[in-house]
């Protein structure tokens, strides 16, 4: 046996990346008797972004930040919160590793992977290199933060990503957030509630540019009420002297000295290290792996799941990707991305903003004649839960097709919005009308019963 053969492993399926889609697919394929090798480049990322540096720690920080009382020391409270969050993520990480590596048909390898050829992947770590040959290969390497090309930003020791922030126990006195999208607003809300002075810089005329103006304005009002400074129409010009953000607004140059600068301008597919060209796998101009509706790449035996394929960057989309791939490998092969209808999303500010479907402006652009049901949460008589939990800020908005009475979209900025939106999405998928949703019976006191009131305010849009 040659030395190369001694350092080669064979598998039915090779999974590169321990994210949601990859681990679910690996587990199912292992249960089906397939020999699976799952590769993860870091022992701190078993389970993927969500339980380690994404959904779980950030939403835990939302929870901890909301529990801080005025008399609590911001730094001590933050340090305690980070410790508890890290303990939680460690538990999840260990559980993910043990669940898969403990299976008889699954092996977890830790190391950096790249393609050698169509069926071979090299895995490198401190112990050397091993090659893995697989009949089928699933790529699930996720995405990574983008640092925009602003002079001095990459060089400044004050520059951080969202991943950096949740790994530090030091609470910055003043935080600058570059980007007023979902990521930027979520962290601005979290850190302000911990006691940090926060300034958000957004180049567009408003934050949350994908939302309707009235919804974005309601979110901005909530942030302002919490003390978050939002500077719209701001062009960040440079980071000067490590800690000074220089920006232009209304034709004038301004500056702000800060303790930390969060780059929150998006994430890009993590494909740079994969050497996809060695396997003939095509990518888009943005670096995402090109896939068809069944998530096959330009090589039929190679699939791409999750953020790396350029789709919506949500854990639950990665989960659905695994269902599509598993249907190809173990099922009828009929399931596809075309089956996705009314996929909701949530921005975990406080209170959360959850949306699904079309905005009012998108519905008009698509040629719909619409009606609008909209109320401020404080005015929804049928929603006493908002008063019970002392969170009456926000707004609920429904976009409804005037001819069919079907719900085209919704934006819920309210307590429990992250749960309410799933009910709305389900109604949309099954073409339940706005009238049916309005006339349904809901428990009391609950947030869902707000639908009884809000959908009774329908006017022409």
H and E: helices and strands count for the chain: 14, 23
Separation CA 150–CA 249 (nearest Å): 16
* 204 in a labelled binding site: no
* 180 in a labelled binding site: yes
Separation CA 324–CA 333 (nearest Å): 8
* 211 in a labelled binding site: no
* 90 in a labelled binding site: no
Q: Write the DSSP symbol of residue 378.
A: G
* 183 in a labelled binding site: yes
Q: Three-class SS of residue 420?
A: helix
* 110 in a labelled binding site: no
Separation CA 178–CA 357 (nearest Å): 27
Separation CA 237–CA 229 (nearest Å): 19
CA dihedral of 71, 76, 78, 84, whole degrees rounded to 10:
-120
* 361 in a labelled binding site: no
In sequence order, the β-bridge partners of residue 94 are none
- CA angle, 63 then 66 then 72, to 5°: 120
The first and second tokens of residue 342, run together, are 């009314």
The first and second tokens of residue 302, run together, are 């190679």
* 23 in a labelled binding site: no
Query: Active-site residue 254, yes or no?
Result: no
* 266 in a labelled binding site: yes
Burial class (CB in 10 A: 0-12, 13-18, 19+), 155: exposed
* 181 in a labelled binding site: yes
Q: Which of 170, 254, 430, 444 is catalytic?
A: 444
- Could you tell me which residues come within 8 angstroms of residue 114 by beta carbon, excluding any fewer than 6 positions away? 121, 122, 273, 274, 275, 278
* 185 in a labelled binding site: yes
* 184 in a labelled binding site: yes
* 298 in a labelled binding site: no
In the block, which residue shows the tokens 């998108």? Answer: 362
C-alpha distances (whole Å) from 266 to each of 144, 145, 147, 334 are: 9, 6, 8, 32
Separation CA 47–CA 96 (nearest Å): 6
Provide the annotated binding site for NAD(+): 179-186, 202, 266
Active site residues: 444
Provide the annotated binding site for FAD: 59, 141-143, 307
Provide the annotated binding site: 59, 141-143, 179-186, 202, 266, 307
């Amino acid at each position: 046996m040659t030395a190369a053969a001694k350092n080669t492993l064979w598998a039915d399926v090779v999974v590169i990346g321990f994210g949601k889609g990859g681990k679910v697919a690996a587990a199912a394929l292992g249960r089906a008797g397939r020999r699976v090798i799952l590769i993860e480049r870091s022992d701190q990322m078993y389970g993927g972004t969500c339980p380690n540096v994404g959904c779980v720690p950030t939403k835990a920080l939302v929870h901890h930040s909301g529990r801080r009382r005025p008399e609590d020391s911001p730094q001590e409270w933050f340090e305690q919160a980070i410790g508890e969050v890290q303990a939680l993520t460690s538990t999840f990480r260990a559980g993910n590793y043990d669940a898969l590596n403990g299976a008889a048909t699954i092996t977890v390898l830790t190391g950096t992977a790249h393609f050698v050829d169509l069926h071979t992947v090299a895995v490198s770590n401190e112990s050397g290199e091993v090659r893995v040959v697989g009949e089928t290969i699933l790529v699930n390497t996720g995405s990574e933060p983008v640092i925009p090309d602003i002079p001095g930003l990459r060089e400044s020791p004050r520059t951080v990503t969202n991943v950096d922030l949740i790994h530090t126990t030091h609470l910055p006195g003043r935080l600058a957030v570059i980007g007023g999208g979902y990521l930027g607003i979520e962290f601005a809300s979290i850190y302000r509630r911990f006691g940090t002075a926060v300034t958000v810089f957004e180049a567009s005329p408003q934050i949350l540019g994908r939302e309707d103006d009235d919804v974005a304005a309601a979110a901005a009002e909530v942030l302002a009420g919490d003390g978050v400074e939002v500077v719209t129409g701001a062009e960040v010009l440079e980071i000067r002297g490590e800690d000074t953000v220089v920006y232009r607004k209304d034709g004038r140059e301004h500056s702000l000295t800060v303790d930390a600068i969060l780059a929150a301008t998006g994430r890009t597919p993590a494909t740079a290290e994969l050497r996809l060209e060695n396997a003939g796998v095509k990518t888009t101009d943005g670096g995402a792996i090109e896939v068809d509706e069944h998530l096959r790449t330009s090589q039929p035996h190679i699939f791409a799941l999750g953020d790396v394929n350029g789709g919506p960057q949500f854990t639950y989309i990665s989960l659905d990707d695994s269902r599509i791939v598993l249907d190809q490998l173990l099922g009828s092969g009929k399931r596809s991305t075309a089956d996705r209808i009314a996929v909701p999303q949530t921005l975990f500010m406080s209170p959360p903003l959850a949306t699904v479907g079309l905005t009012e402006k998108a519905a008009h652009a698509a040629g719909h004649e619409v009606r609008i049901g909209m109320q401020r949460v404080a005015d929804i008589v049928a929603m006493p839960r908002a008063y019970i939990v002392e969170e009456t800020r926000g707004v609920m908005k429904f976009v409804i097709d005037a001819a069919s009475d079907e719900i085209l979209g919704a934006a819920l900025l309210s307590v429990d919005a992250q749960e309410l939106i799933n009910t709305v999405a389900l109604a949309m998928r099954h073409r339940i009308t706005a009238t049916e949703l309005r006339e349904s019976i809901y428990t009391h006191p609950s947030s869902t019963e707000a639908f009884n009131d809000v959908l009774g305010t329908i006017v022409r849009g």
